[in-house]
């Protein structure tokens, strides 16, 4: 069993997290955040979900709250429960190492990081996880502003999706999904939009 502790202030969206992978999800939301974005996923079973809104704006306030609740839940969780701290904030590394020293398995899950016990997030619900957001971004863009050539679309996807690792492969996956979903056709490097 796995429980997720999500630094929503840091990750900004739940669209890259497979909430169904966890038996308990605790989301920490910053004082200035007004919307919680779950993405477009549909879950077939209920999720034990706890929403913790941080009342005040202070440096590292959310991180301190997450550390407090991580400790609190560490005392009440059965021994077979492992913890995932979902954040790109490397400041959690010493805390996670300490939790691991005390029997509980705990890992940090983030995007594009591999150092200091931060592993890239696993998209267990399939490769099409972020594509609906990208498709909406393109569809709702004024037609005159849409990328007209493949290289312009490539650059738009790379920037919008913040692709930094394996750029050619990752962006090509998105373009392939655009083609499979019928959003675009490509003819001689020129993009034709079908929506």
Per-residue model confidence as pLDDT tens digits over 91-115: 888 888 888 887 789 988 876 444 4
* pLDDT at 113 (0 to 100): 41
Per-residue model confidence as pLDDT tens digits over 81-90: 999 999 888 8
Q: Would you list the domain boundaries of the chain?
A: 2-120, 131-193
* pLDDT at 121 (0 to 100): 44
Per-residue model confidence as pLDDT tens digits over 138-190: 877 888 889 999 999 999 988 888 888 888 888 888 888 888 778 888 888 89
Cβ-contact 190, 148 below 8 angstroms: yes
Question: pLDDT band at 119, cuts 50/70/90?
Answer: very low
117/99 Cα distance (integer angstroms):
12
Region 118-127: mean pLDDT is: 42
Query: What fold characterizes domain 2-120?
Result: Rossmann fold (3.40.50)
């Amino acid at each position: 069993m796995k429980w997720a502790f999500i630094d929503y202030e840091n990750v900004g969206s739940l669209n890259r997290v497979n909430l169904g992978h966890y038996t308990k999800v605790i989301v920490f939301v910053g004082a200035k955040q007004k919307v919680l974005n779950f993405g477009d996923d549909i879950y077939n079973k209920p999720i034990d979900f706890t929403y913790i809104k941080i009342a005040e704006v202070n440096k590292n306030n959310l991180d301190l709250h997450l550390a407090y609740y991580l400790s609190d839940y560490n005392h009440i969780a059965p021994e077979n429960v492992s913890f995932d701290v979902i954040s790109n904030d490397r400041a959690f590394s010493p805390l996670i190492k300490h939790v691991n020293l005390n029997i509980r398995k705990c890992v940090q899950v983030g995007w594009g990081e591999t150092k200091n016990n931060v592993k890239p997030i696993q998209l267990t619900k399939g490769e099409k996880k972020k594509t609906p957001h990208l498709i909406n971004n393109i569809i709702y863009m004024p037609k005159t502003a849409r990328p007209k050539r493949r290289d312009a679309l490539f650059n738009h996807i790379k920037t919008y999706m913040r692709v930094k690792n394996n750029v050619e492969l990752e962006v090509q996956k998105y373009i392939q999904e655009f083609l499979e979903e019928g959003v675009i056709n490509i003819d001689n490097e020129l993009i034709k939009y079908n929506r």
